[in-house]
Amino acid sequence: MSSGFGGFGGGSGGFGRRPGGGGPPAGGLPPGGGPPAGGPPGGGPPGGVPPGGGGPPNLHAVPPPSAAATAPALDHDTGLTPPRRPSARGRFISDVIVELGFVPADRVQAAVEEARTSGRTAEQVLLENGALSSDQLARATAERFGLHHVDLNIYKADLGAANLIPSQAARRFTAVPVGFDEDKKLLVAMVDPSNVLALDDMKLLTGQELRPVVASPDDIAALISRMSRLDDAVAEAVQEEDDDLDAAVTDIRESAEDAPIIKLVNSIIAQGVEEGASDLHFEPDGRDMRVRFRIDGVLSESTTIPRRMVAGTVSRIKIMADLDISERRLPQDGRVGLKVEGHAVDIRIVTMPGVHGEGVVMRLLDKDQALVSLDKLGMAPEQHGLFDKAFRQAYGAVLVTGPTGSGKSTTLYAALNAINSVDKNIITIEDPVEYQLPGINQLQVNHKAGLTFAQGLRSMLRADPDVIMVGEIRDGETARIAIESALTGHLVLSTLHTNDAASAITRLTEMGIEPFLTSSAVDCVVAQRLARKLCSTCKRRTMLSVEALREAGFHAAYDVEAYEPAGCGRCGGTGYKGRIGLYEVMINSDEIRALTIARASSDEIVAVAKEQGMRPLRDDGLDKVRQGLTSIAEVTRVS
Ligand SMILES: [Zn+2]
């Protein structure tokens, strides 16, 4: 994940994704305005000699002035380029342009002459005749003032910072806050850092200490318009629902004081949806609030909400979900339906009081993406055949196991969708209802109203269902009703929180179900995981040795040709894009039924299941590594 992370459209000034863990915060600017730690003392080397290639990563070789205009290399990790000298004050920008090798000296001299007669600046002349690009001018301006240059196509702008000033003001100043440095100073990307009035105004507006960095006018304009777009993406949906929904939402939109907070919350949600996040975590640390996105199952930092906006942000989110704003000590649970860029997105919101203040977790349920076919999720044909046969039976129990976030409900939805027809009465009880299937009665668990899985299940049975889907078997009572239903002519689909298929059998016994009931009710158990899929644009070939594979616990007889993650703009520098399921399908054979009754351990059950042809989860994972779909590291991580 070293180079070119992004995920932003070219030139759109979008936000890239920060590479996961370990990276410096907010673009990793060193504190203060001086050269970065480890840099050569006293600024750049004398005489414009480029620093050696072995230098620290944020110093880059700059070619010596030459006839060919060559741009200095920029930092692909952060998009920030420090100045070669702490300050070049007193020098003309035209000299800096020559020194950086952007335009040959004679051409610059000609522009200086022309500028003198035409009443323009030399830079303007060079821009107009195409000798200099606006990016190069921004780079030279940064150098001239001894400031960092920021390439907003690469730098991950922080929504919390960017929302600190209204977009009209940002346009007026041609400046936009993009993040915080380690001293908590607000980094402001500006076209003209000598605009002291703009700096003063922004200091007043934001209440923050500022640290200017230089960006091109195109980049700044693109970022400002993206900010407005992210805000509008959600604002429209709120408007749509105003008619039948809480007036409170309308009220708060009209209050000018709260407008930046609404804008911020909307932008964060819109960005989460755009990046395909499943959860947005708002975590207070006693001062600021950190926002992290879970994307393809992995959390990464996204935004910092400054201290003075933290309380407002939490209140705003509570209002959206119709929760009690004044209740700060007890967790609350609510939901809100939004349309984001035309997508119907259901957001489940949970507030969590903690030692550093109140946190919030938003779970995004993208209804348009909940229903994916099993082939598409990566279930191999043989396994799919076995599973398909099991859920097409008239009665019995089919269970899907795995940890939270392993895609169990997606698998059940796919099964329900496959058997959904008018001649079948299908009822579900879920927590929450993630996807609405046409023609199916779906009941939502409601702890506040006392509706648990067990109670919902009991009332469902009175409605004469053929097929029952129970979101999760969490307790003995739910287990008992589910197993009894499976034995009395219903097809029961449900999930259990166990690591492998065989453990589902022993878990039911632990929950107090008589083994002879489990043995006759359960027909098929699927264990599954979701692994991140390698980005097809940047994945790299590699060879996995037998030794390494065995060491990692895989059965291998030969070296395996495989791929490993690299990182590119398309995948946000992570090397992964999207996810794929790993599956283990266990059919309850007569032998396994006998073992169940004998209260055998899950290890004994696994051994027999493997003898009878069950392919374990990790072997399915290794197959997907061979096919170049995922990496060995991912399979090891999830299984
Ligand atoms: Zn990639």
Q: How far is the CA of 296 from the centre of ligand 1 (A)?
A: 14
Instruction: Categorize the per-residue pLDDT at 247 as very low, low, confident or very high, splitting at 50, 70 and 90.
Output: very low
Q: How far is residue 167's CA from residue 205's CA, in Å, rounded to a whole number?
A: 12
Cα–ligand 1 centroid distance for 534 (angstroms)? 8
Region 187-194: mean pLDDT is 93
Q: Is the pLDDT of residue 496 over 90?
A: yes
Q: Are 618 and 554 in contact (CB under 8 A)?
A: yes
Q: Among 231-245, 284-298, 399-413, 536-550, name the one with the lowest average pLDDT.
A: 231-245
Distance 17 CA to ligand 1 centre (A): 12
CA of 549 to the centre of ligand 1 (A): 25
Structure tokens at 158: 């922080």
From CA 252, how far away is CA 383, in angstroms rounded?
52
pLDDT of residue 401: 97
How many Å lie between the centroid of ligand 1 and the Cα of residue 567?
A: 4
- Find the mean pLDDT for residues 495-509: 95
Q: Is the pLDDT of residue 256 over 70?
A: no
Q: Which residue has the tokens 């089919």?
A: 398
C-alpha 533 to ligand 1 mean position (Å): 10
- Tell me what the mean pLDDT of segment 298-319 comes to: 87
**How far apart are the CA of 5 and the centre of ligand 1, in A?**
8
Q: Which residue has the tokens 């009894």?
A: 484
Higher pLDDT, 57 or 592: 592
The confidence score (pLDDT) of residue 369 equals: 58
Per-residue pLDDT, 565: 94
Residue 562 CA to ligand 1 center (angstroms) comes to 16
What is the 630 CA–ligand 1 centroid distance (Å)? 13
What is the distance in A from the centroid of ligand 1 to the CA of 7?
Answer: 9
Given a contact cutoff of 8 angstroms between Cβ atoms, the answer to whether 376 and 360 are in contact is no
Question: What is the per-residue pLDDT across 328-358, written as a single tens digit (0 to 9) for each?
Answer: 888 888 888 888 777 778 888 999 888 888 9
Output the CA 219–ligand 1 centroid distance in Å. Answer: 23
Residue 541 and residue 631: Cα distance in Å, rounded?
A: 11
pLDDT-derived band at 574 (thresholds 50, 70, 90) equals: confident
Å from CA of 406 to ligand 1 middle: 23
pLDDT attached to residue 30: 44
Helix residue ranges, H only, 48-166 = 93-99, 105-118, 122-128, 134-145, 159-162
**DSSP strand pairing (210-214 vs 332-340):** unpaired
Provide the b/e sequence for 377-413 (b: ≥16 CB within 10 Å).
bbbbeebbebbeebbeeebbbbbbbbeeebbbbbbbb
| Spacing, Cα 564 to ligand 1 middle (Å) | 11
User: DSSP secondary-structure letter at 358?
Assistant: E
Q: What is the whole-number distance in angstroms between the Cα of residue 565 and the centre of ligand 1? A: 8
Q: Say which range, 40-54, 368-382, 460-474, 528-542, has the weakest mean pLDDT.
A: 40-54
Look at residue 254 and tell me whether its pLDDT is greater than 50: no
Q: For residue range 149-165, what is the model confidence (pLDDT) as tens digits?
A: 999 888 888 888 888 88
Ligand 1 centroid from CA 568, angstroms: 4
What is the pTM (predicted TM-score) of this model?
0.58
pLDDT tens digits, 7-39: 333 333 333 333 433 334 444 444 444 444 433
- Residue 249: what pLDDT? 37
Query: 361 pLDDT exceeds 80?
Result: yes
Give the pLDDT mean for 221-229: 84
CA distances from 356 to 187, 290, 353, 625 (A): 26, 12, 8, 42
CA-nearest of 465, 521, 523, 468 to 494 is 468
Q: Is the pLDDT of residue 69 over 50?
A: no
- Residue 532 CA to ligand 1 centre (angstroms): 12
| pLDDT score at 555 | 83
Please state the rounded mean pLDDT for residues 283-304: 85
79-88, 242-251, 455-464 — which one is most confidently predicted on average? 455-464
The whole-angstrom separation of Cα 433 and Cα 416 is 14
pLDDT computed for residue 89 by the predictor: 64
Amino acid identity of residue 149, one-letter, is: H
Q: Ligand 1 mean position to 469 CA, how many Å?
A: 38
- SS percent in the chain: helix, strand, coil, step 5: 40, 20, 40
Residue 62 CA, ligand 1 centroid: distance in Å: 28
State what percent of residues in the chain have pLDDT above 90.
41
Looking at residue 44, what is its pLDDT? 38
What pLDDT is stored for residue 230 in this prediction?
Answer: 77
Q: What is the mean pLDDT of residues 178-207?
A: 90
Residues 521, 527, 533: CA angle, nearest 5 degrees: 155
CA of 162 to the centre of ligand 1 (A): 27
The alpha carbon of 114 and the centre of ligand 1 are apart by a number of angstroms equal to 47
Q: Span 547-551, mean pLDDT?
A: 89
pLDDT the model gives residue 234: 65
Q: How far is the CA of 454 from the centre of ligand 1 (A)?
A: 45
Task: Find the mean pLDDT for residues 496-508.
Answer: 95
Supply angle C-alpha 553, 556, 557, rounded to 5: 145
Q: What is the pLDDT of residues 597-609, one digit of tens each?
A: 999 999 999 999 9
CA neighbours closer than 13 Å in the CB half-sphere of residue 442: 15
How many Å lie between the centroid of ligand 1 and the Cα of residue 2?
11
Position 285 pLDDT exceeds 80 = yes
How far, in Å, is the centroid of ligand 1 from the Cα of 539? 7
Residue 77, pLDDT score: 62
For residues 88-106, average pLDDT: 85
Q: What is the CA(536)–ligand 1 centre distance, in A?
A: 7
Whether a cis peptide bond, with omega within 30° of 0, leads into 565 is no
Identify the band that residue 611 occupies on the pLDDT scale cut at 50, 70 and 90: very high
More confident site: 65 or 313: 313
Q: How far apart are CA 58 and CA 77, in angstroms?
A: 9
Average pLDDT of the residues of the chain? 81
Span from the CA of 407 to the centroid of ligand 1 (angstroms): 23
pLDDT of residue 362 exceeding 80: yes
* Between residues 76 and 484, the one the model is more confident about: 484
pLDDT of the residue at 64 = 38
- CA of 538 from ligand 1 middle (Å) equals 4
